[in-house]
Amino acid sequence: MHASDFIYTTYIHVIQGTVAIVTSDGRMIVGTLKGFDQTINLILDESHERVFSSSQGVEQVVLGLYIVRGDNVAVIGEIDEETDSALDLGNIRAEPLNSVVH
Amino acid sequence: FKSLVGKDVVVELKNDLSICGTLHSVDQYLNIKMTDISVTDPEKYPHMLSVKNCFIRGSVVRYVQLPADEVDTQLLQDAARKEAMQQKQ
């Protein structure tokens, strides 16, 4: 199986969907997945960062549209629209994610 | 790994996040796709609450925890030994 097939078939149905990206420095970014390649470079639209702390809900619109280099991607999660809108972000208190340590 | 597709595993990442779910697929880079995930550890990581399926980059995986009875350790040991011998040659 060609290497690129894996992620291609995996994520072809998620394009145009909302995804949550966890980066290697422990940040969580939510956006619309526009495209990707074999090295998992991502094109994300309307991305905003979810910062968790003792008082959550701090969302910044990081950039409307940007490219995330695959090296820095740890996890790509499919966000279920219904569940996500049910989430009351203002009420969540938590520690920030750790960054990836090799 | 391919024989484990469809089984429940726990993947521990290098950023200390542990994700439990069903192994959907694996590729040559050991990237993992999992469905129906939940965060195992104290859910002090609520970030994934609205995520059901996820793709994990192979380079951020620290461990993959498997139920002991799914793995024939004898077979695995033999296979690993053979590979090590092949590599030496």
Q: How far is B19 from chain A (nearest CA, A)?
A: 11
Contact map slice: A 31-70 vs B, CB within 8 A: 40, 50, 52, 70
Greater pLDDT, A27 or B62: B62
One-character DSSP codes across B12-67? EETTS-EEEEEEEEE-TT--EEEEEEEE-S-S--GGGTTEEEEEE-GGGEEEEE--
Q: How far is A30 from chain B (nearest CA, A)?
A: 10
Q: Which residues of B touch A99 (CB under 8 A)?
A: 15
Which amino acid would we find at residue A62?
Answer: V
> What confidence score (pLDDT) does residue A69 get?
92
Which residue has 């991607």 as its token pair? A73
Share of chain B above pLDDT 70, in %: 89
> What confidence score (pLDDT) does residue A1 get?
45
**Contacts for A7-13: CB closer than 8 Å, 24+ residues apart:** A7/A36, A7/A38, A7/A40, A7/B27, A7/B31, A7/B55, A10/B25, A10/B33, A10/B55, A11/A36, A11/A76, A11/B55
Look up the pTM and report it.
0.78
If you average pLDDT over residues B70-76, what whole number do you get? 69
Per-position pLDDT tens, chain A of length 102: 445 566 666 666 667 788 889 999 888 888 888 888 888 899 988 888 877 666 666 567 777 888 999 999 999 988 877 666 655 555 556 667 777 778
> What confidence score (pLDDT) does residue A47 get?
81
> What confidence score (pLDDT) does residue B61 get?
93
* A45-54, A67-76, B33-42, B79-88: which is most confident: A67-76
B47 to A80: CB separation less than 8 angstroms, yes or no: no
Q: Is A4 on the interface with B (CB under 8 A)?
A: no
Q: Who's near B4: CB < 8 A, 6+ residues apart? A: B23, B26, B66, B70
Residues A49/A66, Cβ–Cβ less than 8 Å:
no
Q: Given the cut 0.85, state whether the ipTM is greater than it.
A: no
The whole-angstrom distance between residue A26's C-alpha and the CA centroid of its chain comes to: 11
Mean per-residue pLDDT of chain B: 82
Upper half-sphere CA count for residue A19 (Cβ side, 13 Å): 29
